[in-house]
Amino acid sequence: MDQPQSKIEKLREEGENIKQALREQVFGYILGAFGLVAGLAWNDAIRSLIEYLFPLSQNTLWAKFFYAFVITASVVLVGMYFSRLFKKGDEKL
């Protein structure tokens, strides 16, 4: 008689674990979406700054390539940092 009750309890526990995992995933997606919006806002601001500093009569193409290079290098460096940080965190577990 005890066995069906333990199976029901186990199913409830699994349901709670799935709910928690789903909440964490949705939170991650929402946070990523806000990050994308913030990134697009910064992109627009920096583009406007480049256009202000280098009017169309000057060579804006090189300024945009420089901007793209700096942003790419920054993203790679931050990605490497977080990758190492998470590897260290996994080793502690």
pTM for the model stands at 0.57
Query: Residue 84 pLDDT more than 90?
Result: no
| CB-neighbour burial class of residue 18 (10 A; exposed 0-12, middle 13-18, buried 19+) | exposed
pLDDT of residue 82: 84
pLDDT tens figures, 9-64: 898 999 999 998 999 899 989 999 999 999 999 889 988 888 888 777 666 778 78
Contacts 24+ apart (CB under 8 A), 64-72: none
Which DSSP string do the residues of 24-74 spell out, in sequence order? HHHHHHHHHHHHHHHHHHHHHHHHHHHHHHS-TTS-HHHHHHHHHHHHHHH
| Rg of the chain in Å (alpha carbons) | 24
Q: How confident is the model at residue 89 (pLDDT cuts 50, 70, 90)?
A: low
pLDDT of residue 64: 80
pLDDT of residue 57: 66
pLDDT of residue 80: 92
